Amino acid sequence: MRCFLLLCLLLPATVGSAASFDDVTLVKAVEWQDLSLPGTSLQENLYQSFSEADKGLAGWVVYMKETQPEKIDPDDADLIEDLNKAVEDFKARGFDWAEYRDVRNSGAEKVNPAVLEKEVNLPGFLLPVEGKENMCVLVPWIGNAHDPPPPANQTVLVTVPVEMKLPHPSRPVFASGILQAGPATSRVRLEAGSIEMKTAYTMNVTVVRAYEE
C-alpha cells in the first residue's frame, strides 16, 4: 500500500502522450494539494515546504498511524520500523503528524476558491458511481474497501459524456474540465466491494487522457 499510495500522490502535473482519447490542447495542470484551502498553521506551512517525496511520505505516516492495529503482526516488523523512523525524522524537523492531521481534518470539506470556475487538468483515477452510468469520482489514489477515502476536498464528482469510453478504474488518467464547488456523497465501486465517498468539488469532464510517464 505504501508504494502504491506514494506513487499516486506523486503523480506529476505534466502529461505524457495521449492514448485513445480525444486529441485536444491541454489546459492548466493542477496538483491535488491546490484543491485544499491553504492553511496558516505551523504544521501546514511546514508541510507545504516539503519536497513532493516528503509530502508523500508524510501522507503515508498519517495513514499508517491511523490504521495500524494495536497488536502488530511480527511479519510487519520491518514496516513498523520504517514507520517509526519516518515519524522520528519528521519530529526532528518540527513536523508533528497528529497535529497536521487534525489541522487538515478540520478543513477537509472546505474548497479553495482560487481553483473554482477554472478549466483544469487533474491526474487521478476515475471510480464509477453506483447507479449512475455517466458519473465517476476522481481521486488521487485508490485503496481497498476498508481503507479510509481521501478527504472531501481531495475528490471530485465528475460527469462524463455518455458516449465517452473510459479506461479501467485502475488506470491513471488526466481529466479536464471546469471545477465547481458542490458537496455530495456517492457510493463508488472498487474491485473488492464499494465505499461511500464525500466530494467537495464537481466537474463536467470534457477530455480524458491516459496518464503515461
Tell me, what CATH number does 19's domain have?
Answer: 2.40.50.140
List the one residue out of 113, 90, 108, 109 whose CA is nearest residue 43. Answer: 90
Instruction: State the pTM of this model.
Output: 0.62
Neighbours of 153 (CB within 10 A): 23
- Residue where a domain stops, chosen among 83, 106, 129: 106
Cα 213 from Cα 211, distance rounded (Å):
7
Are residue 147 and residue 129 in the same domain, yes or no? Answer: yes
Q: Which residues, other chains included, contact 13 with Cβ-Cβ below 8 Å and sequence gap of 6+?
A: 29, 30, 31, 121, 123
In this structure, the answer to whether residues 55 and 148 fall within a common structural domain is no
Residue 117 binned pLDDT confidence (cut-offs 50, 70, 90)? very high
pLDDT digits (tens, 9 = 90+) for 38-83: 665 678 778 878 887 888 888 888 888 877 766 566 677 788 889 9
The verdict on 163 and 59 lying in the same domain is no
